[in-house]
Structure 1
Amino acid sequence: MKKAVYIRFTIILLIVGFMLAVQYNTVQNPETRDTRDVWAIRQELARETELHSELLSEVRMLEQTIGKYENMRNESPEMALNDTVNQLKKDIGLEEFNGPGLLITVEPSLESIAIGQPIEGISPDLLIRLVNEINRFKAKVVDIDGKRIIYSSAIRDVNGKTTVNNFAIRNAPFTIKIGTSSFEDAKKMYNQLEASAIGDDFYIDNLRLEIGDPVDNLTISGYDQSVNNQFLLEIPGGE
């Protein structure tokens, strides 16, 4: 009889201990709640929807390219290969760009001109911030002072001068050309840059951004230096 009582008492203690442990764990690790308001959630949803749309567009474009390549390969393998090579040259910036976009002029600030302050070159950090801001707004092509930006372009300080593709950038004024996929994208780029705080960063360095109106046809030269292809290997013929 006593043994049965002990067993029941032990079971009750185990249950109580388990419940206390669960309650303690809940108090120590409360469920994280999303405290964002409706507007913040809607903005996040809009960004995710836009990203999803972009991914679908890229998938559709790749499917069209594959289909086109398959058709051309059956008719003429050489033509298919040349078409693929030309498209790759366009994608990485080796070909001239003609299309919608806008022009930005980096100028000395009016205050620095008024007081006769010497004009200094733009710093690499500030130029990188501007390029990142432009790319954030979905630029297709960027050219800085006649130097085309591609995947391997570097912006750095060399002997006190800011360089792009190992060539020095002139002191202000100089121009930055931005190519976009459509005229609508160019208008969005204009509005976003006008509303961006990047202009304040330039003002601190006694510079200002003069953002030109979007245009339908902007010409940007292709990258005119050799492209580093150290990770590409040529396959011998017949393999």
Structure 2
Amino acid sequence: MDKKVITRITVVSFIVGVMIAVQYNTVQMPTTRDTRDIWEIRQELSEEKKRHSELLSEIATLSSVVEEYENNDTESQAQILKDTVEELKQRAGLSSITGPGVVLNIVPAAELLEMGFQIEPISPNLLIRLVNEIYRYNGHFIEIDGQRLVHTSAIRDINGKTTVNGVPIDSTNIDIYIITENFEKAEKLYSYLFASAFRDDFYLDNLSLVINEAQPSITVSAYDGNLSNTYLVENDKGE
């Protein structure tokens, strides 16, 4: 056989072999390896199912409102629409709301203060972690040191001060009001926060997280800023 033909066959065979090896390696060894154990996966699945259930409940509620609106006369429709707008304002944070919930206090750790430890202001990262835990365990409406949290709220460091909605909060004495869907969920939120090791993170920063028992009625104030609308445009024609 001609040497040129043998050389060509060898080169082609080598290229094909490399391509097959690369494809096999890609299938057998993915770039990102999932290192989560079965319990972490089950927990994530549980959270996703919970969100799915909440979405289905929301869809059912909105469908009920639409059906009620379509089946009533003009005067009743106006009242239904007014009630719906008020509910949406509450959920968006534009009006105050009262309901069952839990009150938290962040204060300097007394024993550390007496021993002369320097009390630093609460960090934005620690406050964000606390807020995420509250939302995770069914906290619906939150007010931090007089600032209502809404979907546009930001907790960040500005010029060395922790701010909520761009407003500096008290360095070491902070009251947090949380409203839940019902009193039972308020009790569950209290039990979780009280039993968790999350409070140790505050102690490491020379702070103490005081978790008060669930209350049947607390009030969260309205957001006093302006909410920006990216996709909604006001119709000035009155149509």
Q: TM bucket by the smaller chain?
A: 0.7 to 0.9
CA distance in 2, matches of 1:183, 1:89: 22
User: Is 1:218 the equivalent of 2:222?
Assistant: no
User: Which has the higher mean CA deviation after the structures are superposed, 225-234 or 65-74?
Assistant: 65-74
**Matched residue, 2:85:** 85
Cα 1:203–1:225, aligned 2, differ >3 Å: closer, same or farther? Answer: same
**Matched residue, 1:117:** 117
Cα 1:202–1:72, aligned 2, differ >3 Å: closer, same or farther? Answer: farther
Cα 1:231–1:115, aligned 2, differ >3 Å: closer, same or farther? Answer: same
CA distance in 1, matches of 2:222, 2:174: 18
Cα 1:54–1:80, aligned 2, differ >3 Å: closer, same or farther? Answer: closer
Cα 1:80–1:172, aligned 2, differ >3 Å: closer, same or farther? Answer: same
**Matched residue, 1:133:** 133
Shift, 1:56, TM fit: 3.1
TM-score after normalising by structure 2: 0.76
Secondary structure in 1 matching 2:202:
helix
Secondary structure in 1 matching 2:139:
coil
**Matched residue, 2:180:** 180
User: Is 1:62 the equivalent of 2:68?
Assistant: no
Compare CA radii of gyration and give the structure with the larger one.
1
CA distance in 1, matches of 2:28, 2:231: 49
Q: What is the alpha-carbon root mean square deviation over aligned residues?
A: 3.1
Cα 1:150–1:114, aligned 2, differ >3 Å: closer, same or farther? Answer: same
Give the AA of the match of 1:59.
Answer: I
Shift, 1:238, TM fit: 5.2
CA distance in 1, matches of 2:66, 2:134: 30
TM-score after normalising by structure 1: 0.76
User: How many equivalent pairs are there?
Assistant: 217
Gaps of 5+ in 1: 1-20
CA distance in 1, matches of 2:238, 2:165: 37
Cα deviation digits, residues 7-46 of structure 1 (max 9, x gap) = xxxxxxxxxxxxxx9xxx7xx849xxxx967x77876675
Cα 1:196–1:224, aligned 2, differ >3 Å: closer, same or farther? Answer: same
Identity %: 46
